[in-house]
Amino acid sequence: MSPAAAAIARFECRRRWRSLLALALIGGILGGVVIGAAALTRRTATAPDRLAAVVDPGDAHLRAIGDVDLADAVAALPMVSGAWAARLSVARLDGPNVIYLGVVAELPPIVGEDGRTVLDPTVVQGRAADPGAADEVMLREDAAEAFGLAVGDTLRLSFLTPEEIDQFDTGFGEPDGPTVDVLIAGLLRVPPGVFDGSPVVATPAFTSRYPDPGAATEMYVGLRGGASAVPAFSAAVDELVASRPTAQPAEDFAPVTIDDPRLGTAALVESSRVLVGGLVAALIVAIVASLVVCAQAWSRHFSASANQQQIEAALGMSGRARLAARLVPGVLVAVAASAIAVAIALAASGIEPVGGLSDIEPEPGWRLDVGGVAVGAVGVVVVTIAVAAWGAARAGAARRDAVRPRRP
């Protein structure tokens, strides 16, 4: 940059600092809104898949009615890379209303040869139940809301025997299984369909203390080869069940069912497309509106000093030098606007996904989208400099056209 251009740049900064500050605020606020909106859109759109990735419900969900000791045999199948296993029971939740619900009592963790740990629910309130405490449970978050329960509440559960579960539609009187009081240690957030109908998760210690109420084996299984290995897994389980002397399954239930634990996530992603599409459309409108406002602001800023560019041109300063002199303040404004935008985006990082997807967010509360904010910060700098260059060049060109003498 020539000494003359540098002097003009310093003069611009000293004389018009208020206008430059206003431009930085305008660009920073609009940039922060756009970055925050983009981060919110991305957070909303990815919430179901991120929760499924964090919890990892595996590739197959197995329920074997009447066989409460199937877990070890299934885990030993060659295509299994890891599993979460429990004994499924049914209990009456004693209280003002009669509520029957499923209770899954964990078995000791099953880690496959690949070291994969399947099904690690997100604890959104309280803490995980102590595996060695038979009187602690975790409750699915949506069930707690539906039943009006909270962390620290005590549940009285009266368990049904396997025979009473089979008689559920015809009636059985009072439950004959054990009645236990358990403390809600924490609330769980899991993908849709996981623990469906079984919102209470008890500990391995509970399973050891109360082995009798078990009516089924419940498993979430990770497979080598992923979903493509499900047919082979199903065939292997059928052979395994056929070779085992199991208890008579309940008449109203298939002895073994295997389904995809990620179907609920896929359905939620599909049903949320309209919501995400609306957010994307709003984001595009915000970007276009921000560009228009910034372009108008920079155009007005440089129009006020267009006469000065005419004088500089008359003194022999090239258009490139005059543009460079205006871009020095523009770069300073761009950096300041980027800092303001980042600050706003950081504050907006506490906004959770909109609509029903807020209940699917695996990281409730403040979550920084590092990549999105970084790209946005660079984008604010680049766009601000580009718009400033456009405004400066436009003001100089307009002034030259206005004073160009007409030919006779």
More confident residue, 395 or 261: 261
pLDDT tens-digit series, residues 111-124: 666 667 888 899 99
Euclidean distance between CA atoms 225 and 58, whole angstroms:
11
Residue 362 has pLDDT above 80, yes or no: yes
User: What's residue 97's pLDDT?
Assistant: 78
User: What's residue 4's pLDDT?
Assistant: 52
Euclidean distance between CA atoms 78 and 333, whole angstroms:
62
pLDDT tens-digit series, residues 180-195: 999 999 999 999 989 8
Task: State mean pLDDT over 54-59.
Answer: 91
pLDDT tens-digit series, residues 230-243: 999 999 988 888 88
Residues 6+ away with beta carbon under 8 Å from 197: 101, 102
One-letter amino acid of 43: R
User: What's residue 9's pLDDT?
Assistant: 56
Task: State mean pLDDT over 192-215.
Answer: 85
C-alpha distances in angstroms, 75 versus 66, 106, 134, 210, 235?
18, 15, 24, 23, 14
Q: Give the β-pairing of 179-189 and 136-140.
A: parallel
More confident residue, 331 or 308: 331
pLDDT tens-digit series, residues 213-269: 667 888 999 998 888 999 999 999 888 888 866 544 444 455 788 999 999 999 988
Task: State mean pLDDT over 18-33.
Answer: 88
Strongest mean pLDDT among 308-312, 314-318, 371-375: 371-375
CA nearest 111: which of 72, 54, 137? Answer: 72
Task: State mean pLDDT over 70-82.
Answer: 86
Name the band, by pLDDT with cuts 50, 70 and 90, for residue 170: confident
High-pLDDT (> 90) share of the chain, %: 35
Name the band, by pLDDT with cuts 50, 70 and 90, for residue 134: very high
Strongest mean pLDDT among 1-15, 135-149, 292-306, 307-321: 135-149
User: What's residue 271's pLDDT?
Assistant: 87
Q: What is the DSSP string of 189-243?
A: E--TTTTTT--EEE-HHHHHH--TT--EEEEEEEETTGGGGHHHHHHHHHHHHHT
Task: State mean pLDDT over 142-162.
Answer: 90
Euclidean distance between CA atoms 248 and 182, whole angstroms:
30
User: What's residue 403's pLDDT?
Assistant: 44
pLDDT tens-digit series, residues 281-296: 999 999 999 999 988 8
Name the band, by pLDDT with cuts 50, 70 and 90, for residue 318: low
Let me know: does 342 contact 23? Beta carbons within 8 Å.
Answer: no
Task: State mean pLDDT over 89-109.
Answer: 85
Average pLDDT over the chain reads 82
Residue 309 has pLDDT above 70, yes or no: no
Task: State mean pLDDT over 174-179.
Answer: 85
Task: State mean pLDDT over 372-398.
Answer: 81
Name the band, by pLDDT with cuts 50, 70 and 90, for residue 280: very high
Task: State mean pLDDT over 304-315.
Answer: 57
User: What's residue 321's pLDDT?
Assistant: 58
Task: State mean pLDDT over 43-61.
Answer: 92
Name the band, by pLDDT with cuts 50, 70 and 90, for residue 313: low
